[in-house]
Structure 1
Amino acid sequence: MDQNIYIIRHCEAEGQSPESTLTEDGFNQANDLADFLSDVEVDRVISSPFLRALQTIQPFATNKNIEIEVDHRLSERILSSMHFSDWMDKLEATFNHMDLTYKGGESSNDAKKRMINVIHDIVTSQSKNSVIVAHGGVISLLLHHYDQDFGFKEWKGLSNPDVYVLRLSSISSNIKRIWID
């Protein structure tokens, strides 16, 4: 059975904490996203527990009368428990060295494995069309799994929101950006 998984990065948010809410523009983007996806029939909507992810997909879920499943594996990864003035350089290094881990943080490979496990669970559930809502860091690692050319530079190019569709069949997989800024 062919399956489609819509991978959505959350809309514009006030901050990075799990409790950060969407901005006013972010709430407008969430409504635009619901309109953009209005023709998509989905079996499941699965979201990061972070408030900004839930708020991003709520208008769509409400319009489709579908329950949002919360999955902690879709949470953004923690680069480190320490503050780095050069955090962007540190992050880039984790794209080049996937097992690199900073104090209190998670390696790119470990975060990618979390995301792949979510995809595996969706595939085995036989859901034809699913939506997952997560964060730029973990989404970019998932995209890298399906497209080795997707890296740090492409992560920097992600928008809020952003939408990719992962098409899976018994013989192939393909990933494509479908969001239009």
Structure 2
Amino acid sequence: MKTIYLVRHCQAAGQEPEALLTEKGEVQAQELATFFAGFPIDRIISSPYHRAIATIRPFAQERGIVVEEDTRLVERVLSGVPRGDWFERLRDTFDDLALEFEGGESSLTAINRANSLLTEILADEHNNIVLVSHGCLLALLMKSIDDRFGFHDWEKLSNPDVFKLTCHLETREIVRIWS
């Protein structure tokens, strides 16, 4: 059995890759370190975006675990051009996983990217792994595991947020554990 903790980053000052955590986000990162203190984590993999790494850094430093960066955990790009209707179009991509906008990636492409990492993790020797990523990518990953997870669940995600993914042979169960 493997347990994978899916972590959405703490509150950030922006969406760009180098966006810093806000002051509140820094406090949240410390709270997250306290939250994970009793968990037997043996590997941490993060999006290379600053806000994701900064989210897990306090915990990683306390445990002496190196944070591995993996580009497959970067946020999903909805469109390469600014869209005033991005919210509605994002909703559409949860209904039509193949829908792709200019310069963006479809939900299916993002799901496949994240699932390629998940497949590798399931084959390695570590049993308790933290993955730190972004709201949309994590929501799509969870949708690929449980199709009931949808756009409205994405809307309810908090910064940070933590879900526990338990993987037994052929079954997977997702439970939100952050409150």
Alignment partners' CA distance in 2, 1:171 and 1:77: 27
Instruction: Kindly state the Cα deviation for residue 158 of structure 1 after the two structures are TM-superposed.
Output: 0.2
Residue of structure 1 equivalent to 2:11:
12
SS in structure 1 at match of 2:129: strand
Structure 1 length-normalised TM: 0.97
Deviation track 1:101-157 (CA, whole Å, cap 9, x = no partner) reads 000000000000111111111111121100000000100001101111111100000
Residue of structure 1 equivalent to 2:160:
161
Alignment partners' CA distance in 1, 2:84 and 2:169: 45
- 1:48-67 pair list within 5 angstroms: 48-67=47-66
Amino acid at match of 1:153: H
Aligned length: 179
Alignment partners' CA distance in 1, 2:96 and 2:151: 11
Structure 2 length-normalised TM: 0.98
Amino acid at match of 1:70: E
Amino acid at match of 1:124: A
Alignment partners' CA distance in 2, 1:171 and 1:22: 37
Alignment partners' CA distance in 1, 2:154 and 2:137: 10
Instruction: Kindly state the Cα deviation for residue 43 of structure 1 after the two structures are TM-superposed.
Output: 1.4
Residue of structure 2 equivalent to 1:129:
128
- Farther-moved stretch of structure 1 (65-74 vs 77-86): 77-86
Instruction: Kindly state the Cα deviation for residue 77 of structure 1 after the two structures are TM-superposed.
Output: 1.0
Instruction: Provide structure 2 residue ranges, at least 5 long, that are not aligned to the other structure.
Output: none
Identity in percent: 44
Alignment partners' CA distance in 1, 2:34 and 2:93: 36
Residue of structure 1 equivalent to 2:144:
145
Instruction: Kindly state the Cα deviation for residue 73 of structure 1 after the two structures are TM-superposed.
Output: 0.3
Instruction: Provide structure 1 residue ranges, at least 5 long, that are not aligned to the other structure.
Output: none
RMSD value over aligned CA atoms?
Answer: 0.7
Amino acid at match of 2:126: S
Instruction: Kindly state the Cα deviation for residue 83 of structure 1 after the two structures are TM-superposed.
Output: 1.1
